[in-house]
Amino acid sequence: MMKQYLEVKEQCRDAILFFRLGDFYEMFFDDALTASRELDLTLTGRAGGDKERVPMCGVPFHSADGYIERLVHKGYKVAICEQMEDPKLAKGIVKRKIIKVITPGTITLENAVASKNNNYIGCLCEKEDVMAIALMDVTTGECVWSVCAASVSEDTILDILSVYEPSEMIYSRKGDHINSVMAYLRNRISQCTVTAFDEQTDVDYEEKASEYFQQTDFAAARQAGMCIGILLTYVREVMQSDISHINSLEPIDNGRRLVMDASSLRHLEITQNVRNGGRKGTLLDVLDKTNTAMGGRLLRKWLEAPLVRISDIILRQDAVEDILSHEIMRQDMHDALDGIYDFERILTRIETGTASPKDMVALRESLASIPQLKTVLDGGAAELLKRLNSRVSTHPEVYDILCQGIKDDPGVVIRNGGVIRDGFSAELDEIRSISANSHAYLQNLEEREKEKTGIKLKIGYTKVFGYYFEISHANTKAIPDYYVRKQTLVNAERYITPELKEFEVKVLTAQDQMLVLEYKLFAQIRQQIQAYIPAMQETARSIARVDCLYSLACAAHDNRYIRPGLNKDTVISIKEGRHPIIERYLKDELFVPNDVTLDHNDHEVLVITGPNMAGKSTYMRQVAVLVLMAQAGSFIPAREASICPVDRIFTRIGASDDILTGQSTFMMEMREVSYILKHATSHSLLILDEIGRGTSTFDGMSIARAVIEYCLKHIHALTLFATHYHELIAMADDSQKIKNYTVAVKERGKNIKFLRRIVPGGADRSYGLHVARLAGLPDGLLKRADVILADLEAHGNAAVPAIRPAAAAAPVADSLFVSPVLDKLLHVDVTSLTPIEAISFLYSLQNEAKEGSGMK
């Protein structure tokens, strides 16, 4: 047996081998050491031919799925070696064979992958300075691809990987550029398992790939054909099953989608928050009102890759508005969608032969809800709803098969039986009847034989001889020819008949027969359904789109969102916009809305100054998120808006370092800025926060100013630029395309209150000490900081004459931070005050003045 194990293990050196021995999967040698550590299993040993015992551990085969899932999620591959014959009938060693290998990118076990997340496996190929990438979700049957020049792969491919985050990656024809991608995977997506693929020179992988997809789709993917073919070949080999359900092929089309790099997705918290990478506190969390797992997965894709074509966006907006404006339609749509399970993944398990009885019931209930959904969609006026309705089918043939074949409440696992409905198979019904009514059958047979033969007899049973007719010697008459003597007793004879023998065989093997026949019938039902899988996949994908539109409509209704207008004038104009995430989680106070105008005429770059914690970063993120929402087809939190679709959103926000690659915070900042300046266009939106903060004041200020000038001269992107370098507000005097904005602050002596309002103008200082005071630094420290600041300001004026704002700018800044005393004086009607009221008013002004000066 150990020799057989080692021969099998040689076929899967990079996988943990689950070797079937009776009712257990056993692991030996290094696999046992690894599995016992990762799964907390007891490590034992057994004789293996050497002096030392072989390390060994195991898990029950009927509960192996949970253990396999845990290993795969840790990045291991698991090879399943099954017994290929009945051990009771085998002569010598039982024949065993690897029936499949489960890897992080090909796992299809139920609940192994989060229901609203995709699980991608990818392939990377480099050929003649062209890099091709293909990504596939085996659980849903979809495949996407892209090609680029190898020289720019470090940007293009890495952006794709950051969005799709594959759990497994294979590669072929390794070159220098692939090496850099592998390094990225090790450092950034460490949970991704990487495998080299042994490409066969005599195999036409492109031809293999063409067999899975429609010719029109594959013709567009010819450049990536070999890469797609290699990926399909690998998946087919490890799964050891039919994978014809993988039939959706789409390009990663940057011409039809807004491109989001990894940094921007992270900074804006679109689908993962910056704290722990979780879902809470993200835009997806706010907008996801989907009822189905299929819709939840698609909504994530919509947010990670919004649209750029106005016509496409309007189609979604019309559908969302149609659902939003009809309360009854929205409620009926919810009721219909609520009964639909994740049958996109159920279809995959049917195709690969791993579907459970519960999957069949879920598919049947899903199909039962589709007619109700189509009735709701029949009432939709929006063009997109009509298109989706035409692509949703009820699949009555499959529904009838499932209704006739599967019980309403079947057993959990097929091997335990109780799955096939009564009346589906006459053979199964007979076996069940024999098993359940054997006593009644024997009584009936006994009475028939007495009447037929005229002999007084009785039916008996022993474990040794089985069933028999017993006839005493006193009642012996002419025994019919079909009675065969089985045993002679002192006072009686025992006989067997063909009918009784047949019954004996049936009743003694009924349970085993039932299980075997049920499994056979279940497999037949599964096979019948496989012919309908492509059509049902189209239905599932269309239902997912309906669910996404429903979700956006519900979010708009619940959060008071409005439909943004769209324009081709490269103008972003938002009135009283609100940040959807912060607004959702803000409990103690109301969110302060703000306006924004960006265009290529006189608002191309907005320089935003003001103290820390005042809301500059929130404001800029808000603009980016609202633009992204609009391009995804969502309504947005604002009073009104007109937005031009942008081709890319770039963000440079926050401070972080990269310990693994040895890059400091400032280096990371500069790399991100370099990436932005390299890829941004005049149709992009740039969110730049505190450029230059990681180095000395003069160095940082110089870089910040140079970045603004470079954007104005070479890129012409719509730009929001927040900075603590209030000296930069002077740049607005030199260019009409720059406008200064600041965060309004109410100042009382050495204390400030953030008003969260973005207003025209520039701040004349950064209010760092005020924020430090709010943070609770010791008073003695703050007083010393005041002294140091005054000294630095007194001796630093002459150092930066070219960057300091012009004297004319000071009144603008002063007007933004006026004393409350002056504010009251400006707004009081002195002529209407009585003498007593005037004295009282003067007294209150004096108290305010004392507070502001620190005298009180």
Quick one: tokens of 92? 């010598």
Strand 121-127 to strand 565-566: parallel, antiparallel, or no bridges (unpaired)?
A: unpaired
CA-CA-CA-CA torsion sign (751, 757, 763, 768) = positive
What are residue 242's phi and psi, to 5 degrees? Answer: -70, 135
Separation of alpha carbons 248 and 246, rounded Å: 6
Nearest to 678 by CA among 722, 720, 710: 710
Report the run of H or E that residue 251 belongs to, with start and end.
Answer: strand 248-251
End-to-end Cα, the chain, rounded Å: 91
> Has 452 been labeled as part of a binding site?
no
56: helix, strand or coil? strand
Burial-class residue 117 by CB neighbours within 10 Å (0-12, 13-18, 19+): middle
Amino acid at 738: I
DSSP alpha helix (H) spans, 13-87: 29-39, 64-73
- Strands of 636-786 (E only): list them: 640-643, 648-652, 685-689, 718-722, 738-748, 751-760
Quick one: tokens of 417? 């039986």
What are residue 791's phi and psi, to 5 degrees? Answer: -65, -45
Place of tokens 């039932």: 514
102: helix, strand or coil? strand
CB count within 10 Å of CB 172 equals 21
> Has 616 been labeled as part of a binding site?
yes
Amino acid at 660: L
Separation of alpha carbons 643 and 627, rounded Å: 7
> Has 815 been labeled as part of a binding site?
no
Separation of alpha carbons 313 and 630, rounded Å: 8
Nearest to 460 by CA among 494, 484, 483: 494
Separation of alpha carbons 747 and 820, rounded Å: 8
> Has 612 been labeled as part of a binding site?
yes
Give me the residues paired with residue 148 across strands: 131
Place of tokens 């293009």: 156
- For the sheet with 193-196, list strands across it: 193-196, 168-172, 121-127, 130-137, 142-149, 248-251
Separation of alpha carbons 814 and 366, rounded Å: 65
DSSP class of residue 150 equals G
> Has 611 been labeled as part of a binding site?
yes
CB count within 10 Å of CB 567 equals 14
> Has 565 been labeled as part of a binding site?
no
Distance between alpha carbon 723 and the CA centroid of its chain, in Å?
35
> Has 740 been labeled as part of a binding site?
no
DSSP class of residue 760 equals E
Separation of alpha carbons 342 and 346, rounded Å: 6
Quick one: tokens of 852? 């502001």
> Has 360 been labeled as part of a binding site?
no
Quick one: tokens of 259? 């491109």
Question: Which residues 6+ apart lie within 8 Å of 614 measured at CB?
Answer: 743, 745, 754, 756, 767
Question: Which residues 6+ apart lie within 8 Å of 160 measured at CB?
Answer: 133, 135, 146, 252
Give the annotated binding-site residues for ATP: 610-617
Give the annotated binding-site residues: 610-617
